[in-house]
Amino acid sequence: MAKEAVLWMEFNPAIPFTCAEGTGIEKGTAVTLSDPMTVAACTDSTTAQGGIVAVEKVASDGNTKVAVHRDGIFVVYCSGAVTVGQACAFQDNYLCELDVNQEHYAGIALETGADGEKILFELRPGHLNLA
């Protein structure tokens, strides 16, 4: 997969989430979260961010679970300019600066990067404090 997120520092082990049995999700793919505790590849930064897939999920392999990181530091690719300290979300596996919706929050940029550049990013979906 091109532009996959690469784990740089693990804080906690990945946890199992439900996924579609017939769908393949490559390692390092950012995923969206839906009810009940289900993930799919993230294509839109305006959806609830779920984390980053820890191991490849092969399509039609009989499994309906995939391991997902919910925290840690990752090397990711930027979509547009991203500023250090900015709240960010994923879109098509690229990191982009976030709008104001907390459920879209994936984490914080630890470095400034230009379009297509790799930076360090702290994954923490849903932890944005708007107060």
How does DSSP assign 106-126, residue by residue? -EEESS-B-TT-EEEEEE-TT
Q: For residues 18 and 39, is the Cβ–Cβ distance under 8 A? A: yes
Per-residue pLDDT reduced to its tens digit, 1-55:
678 999 999 999 999 999 999 999 999 999 999 999 999 998 888 888 899 999 9
Which of 74, 71, 84, 75 is CA-nearest to residue 125? 71
Say what the pTM is.
0.91
